[in-house]
Amino acid sequence: MDVALSKNGARLLRAFFALIVLFLYAPIVILLIFSFNNSEVPSFPLSGFTLHWYHEFLSNSDLKGALETSGIIAALSSTGAVVLGLLAAMALTRRRFRGKAAVSALLLSPLVIPYVVFGISLLLLFHTIGVPRSVLTVVIGHIVISVPYTLLVLVPRLNQIDISLEEAAFDLGASRLRTFRSITLPLILPAILSAFLIAFTTSFDEYAVASFVVGTRATFPIYLYSALRFPSQLPQVIAVAVVVLVLSLAVVVAAEVGRRIAERRFASLESSG
């Protein structure tokens, strides 16, 4: 008899799952509670309810500037990563050439390279070729580390598409660009959206690489790390972390709903076609 199917085994698995959920989400709940605490010291018992720290966050120009910088970098790097990842995924799934396995391994190599080592390497590269550290250098670094995530999303989706659909379009006289725009792109659009969100989140939260190649404009993670050294700014950091968390959850939920709606629509189009 399988232990997992027994009553005691099922109870043990449920208890283990509950502990994992508690371990993952308890810090977030505690963070949310302390963001409304009327005290600079995050400790129990709470001193009272207040929205003061959210007001302080909204009036902190440096913090808002760091959020804006991270947003710009994340938008640019995720767009670049999706474009490059899509081109690479099309080549890996629609072309036959020697060394395909080596090229695929090279594109995925940033996943196994420590970000600290990667940041130092980029710093030395930019210093050698004379590129000053700025928003652009951070965007370049984040594009490189985000491309593997886009590949891991786009390649499986492209492999799921029946290549005969594209061949039929070629037989009817459509160009490769027209075939991609009219057939391939609509079918992989949900995957592109997922890849963009993953790349955006990766860039927005990334610290190790950005700490080496950032210029005068600090990103949000770098600002948070520097603010944690000053206890008086800790409540503002907690408040802005809650705001970013809520916005991130809202975007992810909206994107997932949109992805499922799009997939159902495209599935119905494929079946009818």
Would you list the DSSP string of 162-196? -HHHHHHHHHTT--HHHHIIIIIHHHHHHHHHHHH
Segment 124-130 mean pLDDT = 89
The alpha carbon of 54 is separated from its chain's Cα centroid by a whole number of angstroms, namely: 25
Are the CB atoms for 83 and 143 separated by under 8 Å?
no
Are the CB atoms for 89 and 155 separated by under 8 Å?
yes
Using a pLDDT cut of 90, give the percent of the chain over it.
10
pTM for this prediction: 0.78
DSSP three-state, residue 49: strand
| Band (118; pLDDT cuts 50, 70, 90) | confident
Q: What is the pLDDT of residue 140?
A: 92
Q: Is the pLDDT of residue 272 over 70?
A: no
Segment 6-13 mean pLDDT = 74
**pLDDT of 208-240, one tens digit each?**
888 898 888 888 888 888 877 776 777 777 888
Angstrom distance (rounded) from CA 126 to CA 121: 9
Are the CB atoms for 118 and 209 separated by under 8 Å?
yes
The architecture CATH gives domain 35-272: Orthogonal Bundle (1.10)
Q: At what angle do helices 100-108 and 61-94 cross, to 10 degrees?
A: 170
What are the structure tokens assigned to 103, written together? 């090229």
Angstrom distance (rounded) from CA 159 to CA 161: 6
DSSP three-state, residue 51: coil
Q: What is the pLDDT of residue 82?
A: 93
Q: Provide Rg for the chain, Cα atoms.
A: 23
What is the b/e burial string over 159-198, where b = at least 16 CB atoms within 10 angstroms of the residue's CB?
eebeeeebeebeeeebeeeebbeebbeebbbbbbbbbbbb
Segment 101-118 mean pLDDT = 86
Q: What is the pLDDT of residue 269?
A: 56
Would you list the DSSP string of 119-142? HHHHHHHHHHHTPPPSHHHHHHHH
Q: Is the pLDDT of residue 85 over 50?
A: yes
As to burial, measured by CB atoms within 10 angstroms (0-12 exposed, 13-18 middle, 19+ buried), residue 263 is middle
Using a pLDDT cut of 70, give the percent of the chain over it.
88
| Band (1; pLDDT cuts 50, 70, 90) | very low
Are the CB atoms for 208 and 119 separated by under 8 Å?
yes
Angstrom distance (rounded) from CA 145 to CA 117: 12
The ranges assigned to domains in the chain are 35-272
**pLDDT of 173-185, one tens digit each?**
777 777 777 777 7
Are the CB atoms for 186 and 122 separated by under 8 Å?
no
As to burial, measured by CB atoms within 10 angstroms (0-12 exposed, 13-18 middle, 19+ buried), residue 249 is exposed
